Amino acid sequence: MNLFRNTLAFCLLLTVFYSAGQTRRVIHIPDIEGYSTLKCDFHMHTVFSDGNVWPTVRVTEAWQEGLDAIAITDHIEYRPHSAEVVSDHNKSFEIAEPVAKELGIILVRGTEITRSMPPGHLNALFISDANPIDKKDVFEAIAEAHKQGAFILWNHPGWKAQQPDTTLWWEEHSRLFANKMLQCIEVFNGDEYYPEALGWAMEKKLTPFANTDAHDPIFNAGKPRTMTLVFAKSKDNEGVKEALFSGRTLAFCNNVVAGDEKLLGQLFNASLSFDEKPLNLKMKGRATVFIMNSSDISYELVLAVKGKEFEAPETITLKAGEITPVTLRGVSKEIESLEKLSMKYKVTNMLSGNGKNFEAEFSFTNF
């Protein structure tokens, strides 16, 4: 009987994953100068808190979806399956870790400190042991995470269940921030967007995040899931940690990218390419630039600063993975003496602050 059980276990193991012909999707978001762009999700749950999947699923689905790094962040205080699922707070990480190693996924050890507002829910990443964080007093719990060197983020600050009417920054958050116990804030959680959080992130230099907060299996036919883009010096745990503490992230959700203006510009430029040859645009003539967008992000542009002596389209969509023609028309004799043709577009799906958009300058050689 013993032999049988071993054989069986081995056989079943083989069938589970690889035999299913699973493949890894590639998310096309370019690196920027000096950094690798890692696709990450730092907030998700398993049966070890109130999630509905075994920890290994979080790794295999991240691998299939083309992610580079994840953190499983089971609630410390809320474990509705505890009648059947028995363990300490480190178990979900320990179960997921060998699969992450095999598949080359960076697995960040994390947990979620889950309290009423204020301060609400906070994720602690890069901890060494989740068990001592299980403390009655929330600030003691946070202090313990901080002691372990944690990177701490405020989750879904505008969640209606905790901030039903307005999204407020509480005194408690100021205190945590002052004590370097708050480095980061979710600008997107699942499909939700919190404009105030983006504003605070830009003002206070909090690292902006976008996470799924997945409880159920993640199904994403087609569009990429909500994720944090991390611009890392190396593709490993240390590289992710350094980038997060340095604030080098953009939050990405439903084709919208939010965060620091400079990073937005670098990502935008790295996504696009076109032939540099002179346009030779003349009065009443037209010239077309074919812009290739190699990324999986479609950019939506609205003309912000018109060009001089020529007309350009009022709106442009640079579709993900395709080549879009942009036609300019000369409207005056002066165009024929211009060496450069420039205009600015507001990128409506790139947010550089609460109510602010990134503006992209295009400059084409004319003669």
Distance of alpha carbon 13 from alpha carbon 117, whole angstroms: 44
Looking up tokens 């947990």 gives 111
In sequence order, what are the residues at sequence separation of 6 or more whose Cβ sits closer than 8 angstroms to the Cβ of residue 166?
none
Choose, by CB under 8 A, the member of 98, 149, 278, 325 that binds a copy of itself: 325
Choose, by CB under 8 A, the member of 24, 233, 308, 346 that binds a copy of itself: 24
Please choose, from the candidates 236, 100, 249, the residue with its C-alpha nearest in 3D space to the C-alpha of residue 184: 249
| 78 lines the binding site for a copy of itself (CB under 8 A) | yes
| Other CB atoms within 10 A of residue 217 CB | 11
CB of 318 to a copy of itself, least distance (A): 9
Buried b (16+ CB within 10 A) or exposed e, 132-170: ebebeebbebbbbbbebebbbbbbbbbbeebbeeebebe
CB 155 within 8 A of CB 120: yes
Q: Among 85-93, 231-239, 250-258, 341-349, which window interacts with a copy of itself (CB under 8 A)?
A: 85-93
Number of residues that bind a copy of itself (CB under 8 A): 66
**Where in 232-271 is the site for a copy of itself (CB under 8 A)?**
none
| 328 lines the binding site for a copy of itself (CB under 8 A) | no
Choose, by CB under 8 A, the member of 15, 165, 166, 339 that binds a copy of itself: 15
| 91 lines the binding site for a copy of itself (CB under 8 A) | yes
Maximum CA extent, the chain: 92
| 290 lines the binding site for a copy of itself (CB under 8 A) | yes
CB of 180 to a copy of itself, least distance (A): 27
| 319 lines the binding site for a copy of itself (CB under 8 A) | yes
Choose, by CB under 8 A, the member of 101, 116, 332, 334 that binds a copy of itself: 116
> Looking at beta carbons only, is 77 or 261 nearer to a copy of itself?
77
Distance of alpha carbon 200 from alpha carbon 339, whole angstroms: 42
> Looking at beta carbons only, is 2 or 166 nearer to a copy of itself?
2
CB of 223 to a copy of itself, least distance (A): 11
> Looking at beta carbons only, is 296 or 309 nearer to a copy of itself?
296
Q: What are phi and psi of 345, to 5 degrees?
A: -120, 140
Residues, the chain, total? 367
Tokens of 320: 């993900």
| 14 lines the binding site for a copy of itself (CB under 8 A) | yes
Please choose, from the candidates 231, 268, 247, 229, the residue with its C-alpha nearest in 3D space to the C-alpha of residue 359: 268
| 280 lines the binding site for a copy of itself (CB under 8 A) | no
State which H helix or E strand residue 54 sits in: none
**Where in 195-234 is the site for a copy of itself (CB under 8 A)?**
215-217, 219, 221-222
CB of 346 to a copy of itself, least distance (A): 18
Looking up tokens 């009655």 gives 136
| 115 lines the binding site for a copy of itself (CB under 8 A) | yes
In sequence order, what are the residues at sequence separation of 6 or more whose Cβ sits closer than 8 angstroms to the Cβ of residue 177?
204, 206
Distance of alpha carbon 314 from alpha carbon 311, whole angstroms: 9
CB of 169 to a copy of itself, least distance (A): 21
What residues line the site for a copy of itself (CB under 8 A)?
Answer: 4-5, 7-9, 11-12, 14-18, 20-26, 47-48, 50-54, 56-57, 60-61, 77-78, 80-81, 84-87, 91, 95, 102-104, 114-116, 161-162, 190, 215-217, 219, 221-222, 288, 290, 292, 317, 319, 321-325, 327
